[in-house]
Chain A
Amino acid sequence: MENIKAIIEALILSSDAPLPLDKICAVLSETRREDVKTAVAELTAEYDQRQSGISIQEVAGGFQYRTRTEMAAWIKKLKNVKPPTLSAAALETLAIVAYRQPLVKSEIESIRGVDVSAPLKGLLDKKLIRIVGRKDVPGKPIIYGTTKKFLEVFNLKDLSELPTLREMKELQLQGEAKDEVQEESREETKD
């Protein structure tokens, strides 16, 4: 078991992109998938326990060594470069694409109420979003979606890790309230 952990450690470090569990399993063909999973979990816990400056994190469907957020200030001192930033327009556009994808430009514009050509181009250039196809309506508008790099940059395991939108939360609350009322009425009838 110890040996497996060492191998996994090496595999993750040597991989450029987040390393999916499937790939680890393919390399460790002799080991059961369950055991590989346990080993990854144990390894992750070990880094956490000894408060290491790095940790194994699950991003974009794979495992990757990442520095802890607390270390950011020190790394900045070392690198001495300004971190890349996104404008408010770009962030809003990106959020809309992330939550509503796949969608076309006009749909983004109807939510933001302004033209989004410039932020869309910027996001495409940064490879945070990509063209996923063309909608089969007059003008054949381009359909956009987020990329794997979007997950990597925003430290997301997958799209489901995005927090629920407030409007959705409110809808859910309303739904739950209704359920409760129904349950209560059911209990009443029972009595």
Chain B
Amino acid sequence: MDTQTENYAIKLDIFEGPLDLLLYLIKKNEIDIYNIPVALITEQYLQYLNIIKSLNLDLAGEYLVMASTLIHIKSKMLLPVPEEPTEEENEKDPRAELVKQLLEYQSFKEAAADLEKRPILERDVFTHASAGLQENTGKENEEDDELIEVSVFELIEAFHRLVSRTDKKELLEIDVEKMSLTDIINDVMERLTREKNLTFEELLGERKDRRQIIYTFLAILELIKLRMIKAYQTSAFGVIRIFPAVES
């Protein structure tokens, strides 16, 4: 049983998504892509989905969306064409959109195959000091050292990273010193105008207890909302730097 499952898994893995599966079925049946017999293709497509389901494999949602699209097209084609087409229903063939999508996908699939056939560095051609796929030379970084604005999600992620790093013990400590958000905001702004730009961690300074982190994070969010500061990073998952929005 196990080996059987594995065999199927490998077979199904060939398809890079619903469009790929459709292209395969079209090729297998030697069908003209501009004139797809929707009933036949839908039936075969659903058969494949059943195989996946019967094996309890994870069925990607995209496959189901395509199945409903196919059934939708099929039902549309069964309906008689209204004598007076409404504005919306003015389109010619219900298959047109899908055909366009298939052709576009097919041309990129071919482009990918063309890329694969090129003389690839470290596979077909070599240089004396090659910067192949595996190597990480720092040079590219310098070149691409452009700043990208950080989204709130990346900020939250950075926040989570820091909080999880702090010692949990500190949660139990009772802090008598009261902190106010306004104080932190003022502190952050003051330090930013002095230092020009700081990372999130630098802003926290020495006092890395949970409360401090949370307050600083709230201060940053508030300041971004007020457009007083801006957050940037040089690459995805890179260090987040905070800049004052206006040069003082």
Residues on A close to B: CB < 8 A? 13, 16-17, 57, 64-69, 71-72, 75, 83-86, 88-89, 91-92, 94-96, 98-99, 111-115, 124, 126-128, 130-134, 139-140, 142, 147-149, 152-156, 162-163, 165-168
B131, A17: Cβ atoms under 8 Å?
A: yes
Q: Does B83 contact A (CB under 8 A)?
A: no
Given the interface pairs A69-B124, A167-B103, the reply to whether A92 lies near B108 with Cβ below 8 Å is yes
Given the interface pairs A16-B131, A95-B108, the reply to whether A155 lies near B119 with Cβ below 8 Å is yes
Given the interface pairs A68-B125, A126-B133, A153-B133, the reply to whether A111 lies near B236 with Cβ below 8 Å is no
A140, B134: Cβ atoms under 8 Å?
A: no
Chain A's nearest CB lies how many Å from the CB of B181? Answer: 26
CB-CB under 8 A from A147, the residues of chain B are 140, 144
B140, A127: Cβ atoms under 8 Å?
A: yes
A131, B126: Cβ atoms under 8 Å?
A: no
For chain B, residues 199 to 218, give those with C-beta under 8 angstroms from any C-beta of chain A: none
For chain B, residues 205 to 248, give those with C-beta under 8 angstroms from any C-beta of chain A: 235-236
A112, B115: Cβ atoms under 8 Å?
A: no
Given contacts A113-B62, A113-B105, A153-B122, 8 further A-B contacts (CB under 8 A): A69-B119, A69-B125, A86-B116, A94-B112, A98-B115, A99-B108, A147-B144, A165-B108
Segment at the interface with A among B16-24, B49-57, B88-96, B182-190: B16-24
| Interchain CA distance A13-B127 in the complex, whole Å | 9
13 A/B residue pairs, CB under 8 Å, sorted by A: A66-B121, A75-B126, A85-B123, A86-B133, A88-B112, A92-B109, A96-B108, A111-B108, A112-B17, A134-B149, A140-B151, A154-B115, A165-B107
Chain A's nearest CB lies how many Å from the CB of B119? Answer: 5
CB-CB under 8 A from B235, the residues of chain A are 124, 130-131
A167, B104: Cβ atoms under 8 Å?
A: yes
B236, A124: Cβ atoms under 8 Å?
A: yes
B115, A89: Cβ atoms under 8 Å?
A: no
Q: What 1/0 mask marks residues of chain B from 14 to 53 whose CB sits below 8 Å from any chain A CB?
A: 0011111000000000000000000000000000000000
Closest-by-CB residue of B relative to A90 is B112
Residues on B close to A: CB < 8 A? 16-20, 60, 62, 66, 101, 103-116, 118-129, 131-134, 136-137, 139-140, 143-144, 146, 148-149, 151, 235-236
Chain B's nearest CB lies how many Å from the CB of A36? Answer: 22
Given the interface pairs A113-B17, A165-B108, A166-B107, the reply to whether A134 lies near B125 with Cβ below 8 Å is no
B107, A88: Cβ atoms under 8 Å?
A: no
Contact of A111 among B105, B119, B124, B144 (CB under 8 A): B105
| Interchain CA distance A53-B174 in the complex, whole Å | 73
Closest-by-CB residue of A relative to B113 is A91
CB-CB under 8 A from B119, the residues of chain A are 69, 155
A155, B125: Cβ atoms under 8 Å?
A: yes
| Interchain CA distance A98-B118 in the complex, whole Å | 14
Chain A's nearest CB lies how many Å from the CB of B34? Answer: 12
| Interchain CA distance A148-B121 in the complex, whole Å | 13
Closest-by-CB residue of B relative to A124 is B236
B16, A66: Cβ atoms under 8 Å?
A: no
| Interchain CA distance A76-B136 in the complex, whole Å | 21
CB-CB under 8 A from A16, the residues of chain B are 129, 131, 137, 139
| Interchain CA distance A71-B120 in the complex, whole Å | 13
CB-CB under 8 A from A83, the residues of chain B are 120, 122-123
CB-CB under 8 A from A98, the residues of chain B are 111, 115
Given the interface pairs A94-B115, A140-B149, the reply to whether A148 lies near B127 with Cβ below 8 Å is no
| Interchain CA distance A91-B114 in the complex, whole Å | 10
CB-CB under 8 A from A139, the residues of chain B are 151
Contact of B123 among A17, A68, A72 (CB under 8 A): A72
CB-CB under 8 A from B121, the residues of chain A are 66, 152-155
A67, B126: Cβ atoms under 8 Å?
A: yes
Closest-by-CB residue of A relative to B139 is A17
